Amino acid sequence: MNLKKILLFAIVLIVVVSGVIGWFAYRYIFMPNTNFNQESIHIYIKTDANFDDVLSQLKDSLNDAATFEFLAEKRKYASNVKPGHFVIEKGMSNLDIIRTLRSRNIPIQIRFNNQERIEDLAGHIATQIEADSVSLVFVMQNEAFLSKYELTPETALTLFIPNTYELYWNTSASAFVERMATEYERFWNETREQKAASINLTKTEVYNLASIVQKETAAIDERPRVAGVYLNRLKRGMLLQADPTVIFAVKKESNDFDKIIKRVLYKDLETDSPYNTYKYAGIPPGPIAMPDISSIDAVLNAEKHDYLYFVADTERLGYHKFSKTLAQHNVYRAQYIRWINAQRINR
């Protein structure tokens, strides 16, 4: 009888101990361990991060950081941290979180457009991926790399085609630029190259001219007509006389790209810069901004017409009035000057 009691007690003890162990195992491994209300949170782990860095990001989002730390040690994640962008979902267990951080680096969407300089582009990209702006500028202006694409630091911006791209957050500066070079080659397919050749422009010249078209008009449907004007002027050996190039030249000469210039003055036209198309013939040596794809394609598919001049249309803001003769242009120009004076736009 005593033996039966001992066996029963042993069995009960085993059941209880097993239950306790099972409960702790469930708590440490399978029990939901998130305490945020939203559906998910995003974690960004740097390339040189250690487990303490990960824990500092996660601890406020966990019900019990100690159990997560314990399991991370047991599963050897703590000594093998992976960099990247990870999404932790509401209700995840410690095991779910560790599996996510170990193997589910999720790509991000990066976007860029309308940057005036390489420095601006680098700063913009640095807000979206791990690489900092200094390392990005260094790679973006690397002459040995650029020479592979017949580019220079002055034309480096033309390597970057504005769009939305998917890549990993922990992409390095060099990997980012290499990816953009791949996108550049994909963009400049045989069709686009043939169109550039048909208007006697290189890819870089197309981009540079597109940057002027971009600055001249925000109306996408008008860009092919504006591009046609500039191509007509180039064919006739005329100066482009594009106000946006003067604005860029003034900013570049003063090294003040934050300067706001709403009106080009006569003194600005005397700025001695190869970007000033009132003084220097042809297309500027580099882009004055990053054009949209619509502006690049507007140059490649420019409207064929006889217009040589255009000026802002004060009756249809955002668009322009086009002229075939200087006499007609001067009439439209006088209308514009009266309007801009009435708006008291002096600079």
- The verdict on domain 28-103 having CATH code 3.30.1490.480 is yes
Hey, is 134 helix, strand or coil? Answer: helix
Q: Please check whether residue 61 is in contact with residue 34, taking contact to mean a CB–CB distance below 8 angstroms.
A: yes
Q: What whole-number distance in Å separates Cα of residue 307 and Cα of residue 224? A: 12
| Distance in angstroms (rounded) separating the CA atoms of residues 291 and 211 | 5
| Average pLDDT in the chain | 89
Lowest-pLDDT choice from 18-22, 96-100, 248-252, 296-300: 18-22
Give span(s): CATH 3.30.1490.480, the chain. 28-103
Would you say residue 258 has pLDDT above 90?
A: no
More confident residue, 314 or 213: 213
User: Among 80-84, 165-169, 285-289, 342-346, which is the least confidently predicted range?
Assistant: 342-346
Please tell me the predicted confidence (pLDDT) of residue 208: 97
Average of pLDDT values for 179-191? 96
Tell me what pLDDT residue 51 has: 93
Check: CB of residue 30 under 8 Å from CB of residue 98. Answer: no
Q: What percent of the chain has pLDDT over 70?
A: 90
- List C-alpha distances in Å: 188 to 118, 181, 297, 317: 20, 11, 11, 33
Lowest mean pLDDT among 4-13, 112-121, 182-191, 254-263: 4-13
d(CA 165, CA 254): 34
Of the pLDDT bands very low, low, confident and very high (cuts 50, 70, 90), residue 41 is: very high
Q: 107: closest CA among 186, 35, 179?
A: 179
- pLDDT at 11 > cutoff 70: no
CA distance 337 to 334: 5
Interacting residues of 228 by C-beta distance below 8 A, sequence separation 6+ = 302, 303, 304, 305, 307
Q: Is 47 a residue whose pLDDT tops 80?
A: yes
Rounded to a whole number of angstroms, the distance between the first and last alpha carbons of the chain is 106
CA distance 115 to 291: 8
CA triplet 263, 264, 269: central angle to 5 degrees? 175
